[in-house]
Every structure is written in structure tokens, then in C-alpha cells.
Amino acid sequence: MNQPSTQSSPAPRTGLGVYVQVPFCQAKCSYCNFSTGVFRSELYGSYAEAVRQEILRHATLYRSTGLRRWQNETPQFAAETLYIGGGTPSLLDPAALARMVQAVRDAFPGPLAEVTLEADPETITEEKARAWRDAGFNRISLGAQSFDDRELKAVGRRHRRADIYAAAQALGAAGFDNLSFDLIAGLPHQTAESWQASLDALLDLAPAHISIYMLELDEGSRLGRESLAGGARYGVPALPDDDAAADFYERACEQLARRGYEHYEISNWALPGRRSLHNIKYWRREPYLGFGSGAHSFDGVERFSNLHVPTDYVAAIRDGRAALDHRETLDSRQSLEEELFLGLRQLEGIDLARIENRYRVALGDLVRPLAEEGLVEMVDGRLRLVPSRLTVSSEVFVRLLA
Ligand code: SF4
């Protein structure tokens, strides 16, 4: 029988997700609504060094801001995942990326089970891929988006179909076996045939992980603004309609399932054992720290983010100041909304009773009509979106969060 120890033992360390934002791109894609852009390459080196400094000195930097949890409890956190995203982080010197990985190992010693780099196909060479492997990256997320050159060109992507194959070959030769490919459903010029061709090409490559996003048309991108204004630039007249895009997504759901991919989040599929450990932390609201301009962090209660302008960010870190831009302590209502919105993105759904207990709410009146309309269902005590109705998930979220 286990006896309670009379000695004080150190508290177990929580698996921390670490994110690094690299906001640099070679060109701005017409559909992009991220806080990224084209910057002179002279900035890359000083930016990478600022990120390294921010990681290593985070406790000191946070001290001046009153972010006490991270300042006092950071030693309890062991990095479990690192995700360097953007932007196009594969533009950076591999040696600078290696120094970032090492900084995370030094600041948050831990298992670092998953170390992901986002890369655009045209930026990948065998030499770089080997250097990334040597630096400790064990997963590459490749922004393929489409295998159709006309679609890629229409939205301003720099790579072409041939670059995707060359990238996959270089990464495989360097020893990467955990690759994730992104596709976008709803691009200008996309048709049922071209979508099927992209899906076929992707499944032939059989990556461990696949993300499929529906094109978002909002005020945050040139394509979105043009479309909302009824204009004709950026390929707006060649956009497939909503029904066609939804059909593309549903077709992907069927075909990926047939090929053994587990659909575990609205936009994400993985072969068994290959789910993204890092992204799961976001959907489960586990703690993560973000470094770099515009990066977001969360400790379970408070969300905070860094300055967005890369030069402002670099200047702050260089001057020994925290680059904090915004912080917000979530109240109970906001936390509940996040539990629903993020939790229901996962196909396994949410433990409804746990959430009702935790937030002292009864959600039955909200959930019942959605269940009667076949949009959500209870399975083994968990509430989830009905898998065949995922294309109307935004309607469910609007009604649940109203
Ligand atoms: S490469 Fe990615 S982050 Fe950069 S502009 Fe294109 S979509 Fe946006």
C-alpha cells in the first residue's frame, strides 16, 4: 500500500506548449488575414536573436509587468511541445532556428516531445532539411494549400505543384517522417475536378497529418475585402460558391476516413498516433507561452499578447523591456464560451456535466434544440458536433454563444 510521503516532493511539472511567431513572408497571399508581411531580410537575424532573448529572459521581462504566474511558477513548467509558425519561419537561417530550439530547452527543461516548424515548399532544400533535423525539429507543417498551379498562382503563392514534391522528397531524405500538409477548400478557380486532383495527390504522398481549411473571406484580406465589396480583382469571379466549398470539405472527410485518417478536429486529420500534440493544447485550454511579435499566451486564466510590429518588438526586447501589448483576465462567462467554442472543435466533443458543474450553469435549454435539429449529439456523456454536419458548425457556435 502506498503511504503518503512525509517529505515535501516537488510539484509535478505541467507540460507546456511553446509557440514562436515568425511574421515574415516572401509575398502577401491575397487570402491571408494573419498579422504577417514582407520585411527586409536584414531584420531576420535581429528578430531571431530577440526571440531567443525573450525566451531565456522571460521571467525577468514578465516581472515588470506583474505577470506573476509565469514569473513565479515557470520552474514548474516543462516544455512538451514547441511550434515555430508564422509567417514563413523556414525563411530564417537554420542556425538561428536551432538557437531558438536550444533556448526553449534551456528555459523550460522538459521532454520536448514534438518540435514543429512551419515551412513553405519553395523555401525547402535538402541542406536546410538536414539542418532542421539536426536542430531537433521532428515535425514539419507544410503550407501546400493546393496541387493546382492555377489556383496557387491566383492567390499569390510563390510555390507550384512541383515544389511540393521536391519539398516532400527533401524532407524525407533528411529523415522527417512526421509531415503535416495544409490544403484550402474554396480557392479561386477550384473546381470539383481540381479539388479531387489535389486530394488524390495529397493521399498519394500519405503524410502523417493533414489540415484542411475552408477559405475565409473577411475584411482582413485583400481577396476578402474585394469579394465583400462585389469587386472582380484577385480572382473573385472564379471563387466557388459556399455550397461547392462545403462539398469539397465533405468529400475530403469521406476520402480521408477511407484512407485511415482520424478526423479529430474540425480542420485536422491524423494517422493513428500522429495528432498534433501542440494544437491539442489550444483546444483543451492548457497553458502555452508565445514568443515573438504578436504571439499569444495563456495560463488557464489570463491571456496576453506581444506587440505586433516586428521592429517595435525587437526594440522592446533589445531595451530589456517586456514586449507585452495586451492582457486580459477571463471572467467565468468568457471561460465558459471558450470551453464550448474550442472544445467542440474537437470531434470527441466536451464533457458537458464537467462544464456545467465547473461553471454552475445548465446548458440543457441551449443544447436541446440543436440536438433536435441534428446538429449536436450526446455520445458517452460527451456533447459533440454531429460529424456529418460540420460544415454548419459556425451556426452551432453562434447559437451556443448567443
Ligand atoms: S505565406 Fe502564409 S502567412 Fe504568409 S502571406 Fe501567405 S498565407 Fe499569409
Residue 73's pLDDT is 54
Pocket probe mutation, ligand 1, options 21, 24, 26, 29, max atoms within 8 Å of Cβ: 29
The response to whether residue 88 sits with its C-beta less than 6 Å from ligand 1 reads: yes
pTM across the whole model: 0.94
77-115 CB burial, b ≥16 within 10 A, e <16: bebbbbbbbbbbbbbbebebbbbbbebbbebbebebebb
Q: How many domains would you assign to the chain?
A: 2
- Same domain as 241, residue 112: yes
What is the distance in A from the centroid of ligand 1 to the CA of 292?
A: 17
Instruction: Please tell me whether residues 218 and 366 are part of one structural domain.
Output: no
Other beta carbons within 10 angstroms of residue 139's beta carbon come to: 24
CB neighbourhood size of 348 (10 A): 14
What CATH number is associated with residue 346?
1.10.10.920
Domain hosting 366: range is: 331-402
What does the pLDDT profile of the chain (402 residues) look like in tens digits?
333 333 344 444 568 999 999 999 999 999 999 989 999 999 999 999 999 999 999 988 988 887 766 655 555 689 999 999 999 999 999 999 999 999 999 999 988 999 999 999 999 999 999 999 999 999 999 999 999 999 999 999 999 999 999 999 999 999 999 999 999 999 999 999 999 999 999 999 999 999 999 999 999 999 999 999 999 999 999 999 999 999 999 999 999 999 999 999 999 999 999 999 999 999 999 999 999 999 999 988 889 999 999 999 999 999 999 999 999 999 999 999 999 999 999 999 999 999 999 999 999 999 999 999 999 999 998 999 999 999 989 899 988 887
User: What is the pLDDT, as a whole number, of residue 63?
Assistant: 83
Give the residue among 115, 121, 148 at the shortest CA–CA distance from 134.
Answer: 115
* 178 & 244 share domain: yes
311 belongs to a structural domain = no
Q: Is 25 in the pocket of ligand 1 (CB under 6 A)?
A: yes
Task: Say yes or no: 69 and 185 in one domain.
Answer: yes
Query: Does a structural domain hold residue 90?
Result: yes
Q: Judge if the beta carbon of residue 34 lies within 6 A of ligand 1.
A: yes
Tell me, in angstroms, the distance from the centre of ligand 1 to residue 161's CA. 17
Strand duo 179-185 + 209-214: pairing: parallel
Does residue 23 have its Cβ closer than 6 Å to ligand 1? no
The answer to the question of residue 312 being in a domain is: no
Asked whether residue 288 is domain-assigned, the answer is: no
Instruction: Tell which residue, 136, 110, 118, has the closest CA to residue 287.
Output: 110
Residue 198 within any structural domain of the chain = yes
* pLDDT at residue 67, rounded to an integer: 76
Ligand 1 atom closest to the Cα of residue 25 is 4
Q: For residue 307, is it within any domain?
A: no
Same domain, 342 and 272: no
Query: Which ligand 1 atom sits nearest the alpha carbon of residue 31?
Result: 7
CATH label of the domain that carries residue 103: 3.20.20.70
Question: Over the stretch 234-280, which tens digit does the pLDDT of each residue have?
Answer: 999 999 999 999 999 999 999 999 999 999 999 999 999 999 999 99
Q: Is the CB of 36 under 6 A from ligand 1?
A: yes
Q: Does residue 145 form part of some domain?
A: yes
pLDDT at 2: 36
> Which residue CA neighbors atom 6 of ligand 1 most closely?
29
- Residues 336, 241 within the same domain: no
184 C-beta closer than 6 A to ligand 1:
no
Query: Are 278 and 396 members of one domain?
Result: no
Q: How far is the CA of 277 from the centre of ligand 1 (A)?
A: 23
